[in-house]
Amino acid sequence: MLLEYFGFRLLPFSKEITAAHLFPAAQHQELLARLQYAVRHRAFALLTGDPGAGKSVAIRALYELLDRTRHHFVYIADSRLTPTAFYRDVLTQLGVTAPYHFLSRETRRLFEQTILDGYRLHGQQPVIVLDEAHLLPGPMLQEVRFLLNFHLDSACPMTFVLVGQSELRGLLRLRTFEAIAQRVQVRFHLGPLTEPESIAYILHHLRLAGADRPLFSEQALQKIAAESRGFPRLINSLCTSCLLDACARDQRLIDEANVDRVLLELQDLQAAKGGSPW
Ligand SMILES: Nc1ncnc2c1ncn2[C@@H]1O[C@H](COP(=O)(O)OP(=O)(O)OP(=O)(O)O)[C@@H](O)[C@H]1O
Ligand SMILES: [Mg+2]
C-alpha cells in the first residue's frame, strides 16, 4: 500500500535494513570502531543501551565487516540460556557436536579444547556475542566468569561481547558479578540520537526508499524527533504509522496533525493494555 501510494522503491523504516544502508550517526560509527578494536585485540566487550537504540544492528554491522576466514561469528540471544546449552550451541555453530551424555563440565572442557585447537592449529579467533544479556539467568552470568578466564591468558583466543539493555550495567555492579565487571576491556553505552540526528535519520530512510520530494513537514519531523526521544526503533514505528495515516486520508504531506493522531492512537492502545506508550 505505502509503496504504490508514495512511489517508494522499497519500504522505508524497515527492520530489514542492510548494514551498508545504516544511518551513520557519530555514536554508531564510534561503537563500530570500538567493536572492531575488541575483535582485533580479542577483548571482552560490554555493550549497553536502552531498547531500540541500535545495539543489535551494530552487531550485525560488525558481522558484515569480519574476515570470515579468521573469525567465526557466534551469536546467541536466549533469555533462558543455561551454561550447558550455551557451550553446546557455540560448539554446534563451530561445527562440533557435543556427545548427548556430556554434562556441564565435560561440555565446557570440549568448548575450551575446541577454541584452543582452532586457534593453535588454524589461527581461528571466534567472535562470540551474547545478546539480550540483561535477561540471562544468574547461573549463566556466573559462567561468563569462566569464559573470561581465557582473557587472563596473553594469547586469548576469542572475542567475547556481552550486549544488553541499560540495566545490565547495574547488574554487573552487584558484588556477585564484580569479577565480570572488572574484566571488561572495551565498554560502550549507546545513547539515543540527538534531535538533528533524528531528523537526518528520517530523511536518510526516505532517501533510501527513493522518495523524490519532502514527505514530512518541518514541524512533523521535529515532533517525531522529540516524541521518540531519539530511539531509532520508535522513530521507525512513528514514521510508518504517520505514512499509513496520511495514505488513509489521501494526503501527500505528513504534518503535525498526523503525528498527533498517531500519538493519540498509541496512547489509547497503551492505556487499554495498561502501560507507557512506548
Ligand atoms: N544506525 C541505524 N541505521 C538505521 N536503522 C537503525 C540504526 N540503528 C537502529 N536502527 C533501527 O532501529 C531498530 C532497532 O535497533 P536494534 O534492534 O539494534 O535495537 P537494540 O538496541 O538491539 O534494542 P533491544 O534492546 O530492544 O534489543 C532496528 O531494527 C533498525 O531498524
Ligand atoms: Mg537488540
Domain that holds residue 226: 2-14+193-273
pTM score over 0.75: yes
Same domain, 169 and 244: no
Question: What single-letter DSSP state applies at residue 79?
Answer: T
Low-confidence ranges of the chain (pLDDT < 70): 151-155, 273-278
| Ligand 1 within 6 A of CB of 53 | yes
**Considering its fold, how many domains does the chain have in total?**
2
The C-alpha atoms of residue 46 and residue 169 are separated, in whole angstroms, by 9
In this predicted structure, what is the pLDDT of residue 212? 83
Residue nearest to atom 28 of ligand 1 (CA): 15
Q: What is the DSSP string of 10-61?
A: S-TT-TT--GGGS---HHHHHHHHHHHHHHHTT-EEEEEE-TTSSHHHHHHH
Same domain, 159 and 238: no
Question: Where is the domain boundary, 139, 169, 190?
Answer: 190
Cα of 238 from ligand 2 centre, angstroms: 19
| Ligand 1 within 6 A of CB of 55 | yes
Cα–Cα nearest to 60, from 129, 13, 124: 129
Same domain, 184 and 201: no
The C-alpha atoms of residue 15 and residue 37 are separated, in whole angstroms, by 26
| Ligand 1 within 6 A of CB of 236 | yes
Cα of 70 from ligand 1 centre, angstroms: 27
Could you tell me the CATH number of the domain that includes residue 257? Answer: 1.10.8.60
In this predicted structure, what is the pLDDT of residue 274? 63
Please identify which residue in the block is written with the cell numbers 544468574: 138
Same domain, 98 and 235: no
In this predicted structure, what is the pLDDT of residue 103? 81
| Ligand 1 within 6 A of CB of 15 | yes
pLDDT digits 0-9 by tens, 33-87: 999 999 999 999 999 999 999 999 999 999 999 999 999 999 999 999 999 999 9
